[in-house]
Amino acid sequence: MEVVHISKFKVPEGKVQLHVYISRDLYEQLVRVAPSIYGKKRFRGAISYVVEEALRHYLLPRLHTQIHTNPKHSVRLIYEQVVEEVKSILNLPFKPKEVPEKILDLAIAETRGSDPRTIQKWKEVFKQQGLIKFAGGFPPNRIVELL
C-alpha cells in the first residue's frame, strides 16, 4: 500500500502522518507538556514523540491478548460475584471498565477466599476465559480491564 504525504515538511523515513481530531483542552495540554518532556530546543517533533509514546503505551498491552467469547457458566457466575464485590468496594452503582489489581485481589479474597494461591488461580481463570485482561503496569500495581 502506498502512503501519500500531503505535507510541506519532509516526513522522516519509516514515519507516516496521522491526522486526528482531539479536544482543544487536550491539545493545549499536549502543546504545553511536550516541550517540557523533550526540552525547549527540541520543540519541533516533540508533539509527535509524545503522541507516539502515548499510543505505544496504550496499545502495547492490548495487542497480544486472546479473548474467548464463551466462558464457562460456572466461571461467569463467580466472575459476576467478584464484579459485584468490586462495585461494593468502590461504592459504584455500575461495573467499572478498569480497576487496580489490588481491588480485584480484595474482591476475589472476599468472595472466594484470601489464600494468595486462590486469588492467583481466579485471576488466571478469568484471564483464560476472556473475562479480564491486564491493561498495563506490573504486579501488584497493574490495571485490570473488566470485560
Range scoring the smallest mean pLDDT among 38-42, 117-121, 122-126: 38-42
Over range 127-146, report the average pLDDT. 86
Q: Which residue ranges form the domains of the chain, and what is each CATH number?
A: 24-63 (no CATH), 73-146 (1.10.10)
28-37, 41-50, 80-89, range with greatest mean pLDDT: 80-89
Over range 10-31, report the average pLDDT. 85
* pLDDT for the residue numbered 13: 82
Q: What is the pLDDT of residues 26-38, one digit of tens each?
A: 888 888 887 777 6
* pLDDT for the residue numbered 81: 95
Instruction: Look at residue 69 and tell me whether its pLDDT is greater than 80.
Output: no
Which pLDDT band, with edges at 50, 70 and 90, does 12 fall under? confident
* pLDDT for the residue numbered 126: 94
* pLDDT for the residue numbered 40: 64
Secondary structure, 3-state, the chain: CCCCCCCCCCCCCCCCCCCCCCCHHHHHHHHHHHHHHHCHHHCCCHHHHHHHHHHHHHHHHHHCCCCCCCCCHHHHHHHHHHHHHHHHHHCCCCCCCEEEHHHHHHHHHHHHCCCHHHHHHHHHHHHHCCCEEEEECCCCCCEEEEC
* pLDDT for the residue numbered 138: 80
Burial of 67 (0-12, 13-18, 19+ CB in 10 A): exposed
- Give the separation between CA 46 and CA 91, rounded to whole angstroms: 40
Considering the chain, what is the average pLDDT of its residues?
Answer: 83
